[in-house]
Structure 1
Amino acid sequence: MPSSDQGITPDRYAIIPRALIFITRGETILLIKGAPTKRLWANKYNGIGGHVERGEDILTAARRELLEETGLTADLKLVGTVVVDAGENIGVGLYVFTGEASDAAPRASHEGALEWLPLASLAHYPLVEDVSILLQKIQSMRAGDPPFSALSTYNADGNLHLQFS
């Protein structure tokens, strides 16, 4: 089907694709603490990730983001998708990946400080608000489960609501 037949018009809801990667090593997880100067999630811990560039598929983008932000490579597995409702005509399509890291040390990142944190103690760290919810979902999954699907919205008070299908 040619691109002209895809039904893409300015009034249609559009999704901006992003990758979010959680890398573990044993009982620890590699998170990035946002630099104090970041507009979003300053001084909060998040997974690795970023936007998909034109011409990339989602897995290629996730691998690129992981390498750019950490210097690491890993076999990545898609574990879920989240549609983030960011407004009337636009949203974010978040593709969530996991992977296991080798003993290699991550390199410094301009995005923030990379830290291996104990999975059992994450409640004691300032996390981006959806990270703990997503990690709980991932940890509850069993081998062979299909990737999860979720919708992320905010109520009138600005509180996050993450609903899994």
Structure 2
Amino acid sequence: MGAHEQGADATAGHWLTIPRTLCFVQNSDDLLLMKRAPHRRVFPNQYNGLGGHIERDEDPFSAAMREIKEESGLDVYDMRLRAVHNISTDAVTGIMLFVFTAWADRREFISDDVEGTLHWVPIAALSEYDLVEDLPLMLPRILQMAPDAAPLFGLVTYDEMDKIQIQYVHS
């Protein structure tokens, strides 16, 4: 079956998602987080991991590596897929988020501050930071995962009070 016979143009009535990556780079007991710039439309002034959109010619792993390099200049190792989230925001399209962890040997990073500023944040002090709303739900789970653990699969929705909910499938 060729590329044109895969049915990718049959979008009517189907859930469409925008693929993105999110990576939490660790060094010792700290995570590298980005405090999003105040002018950003999404999550201004909040702390999040590194990541972004997956390009047409990329797989999620390569996209995460590219985003880490672009946003921090760091070369990372031991990158692992920790979760895949299907995020429904009641819009026409949603987000398919591939969540990774990785390690960095060095703490010196480069940053252009266009998207935000980078900070090494102690894991023990995460609750003291203004984190993006899903991080307090996600980080405790993924940071405690065994190195060989299978990724988590989650459905992210919002309740009637517009509060985020993450429902993980248990295997």
Deviation at 1:32?
A: 0.2
In the alignment, what sits opposite 1:80?
Answer: 83
Pick aligned residue for 2:34 from 32, 35, 39:
32
- Counting aligned pairs with the same residue, the percent is 36
Deviation at 1:14?
A: 1.1
Deviation at 1:27?
A: 0.5
Pick aligned residue for 2:148 from 144, 147, 156:
144
Distance 1:46 1:121 in 2: 14
TM-score with structure 2 length normalisation?
Answer: 0.91
CA contact (8 A) 2:51 2:64 kept: yes
Q: One-letter code of the match for 1:105?
A: E
Distance 1:29 1:140 in 2: 14
CA contact (8 A) 1:13 1:88 kept: no
Residue-by-residue CA offset, 1:18-65 (whole Å, 9 max, x unaligned): 000000000000000000111111111000000001111111111110
Matched, 1:10 2:11: yes
Distance 1:158 1:4 in 2: 40
| RMSD over equivalenced CA pairs, Å | 1.4
Deviation at 1:88?
A: 5.6
Distance 2:2 2:86 in 1: 26
CA contact (8 A) 1:30 1:115 kept: yes
Matched, 1:155 2:156: no
Question: Superposed, which structure 2 residues align to 1:1-165 within 5 Å?
Answer: 1-8=1-8, 9-11=10-12, 12-75=14-77, 76-87=79-90, 89-109=92-112, 110-165=114-169
CA contact (8 A) 2:27 2:107 kept: no
**Structure 2 CA distance for partners of 1:108 and 1:13, relative to 1, 3 Å:** same
Range 44-53 or range 76-85, more displaced: 76-85
Return 5+ residue gaps in structure 1 as ranges.
Answer: none
Deviation at 1:156?
A: 2.5
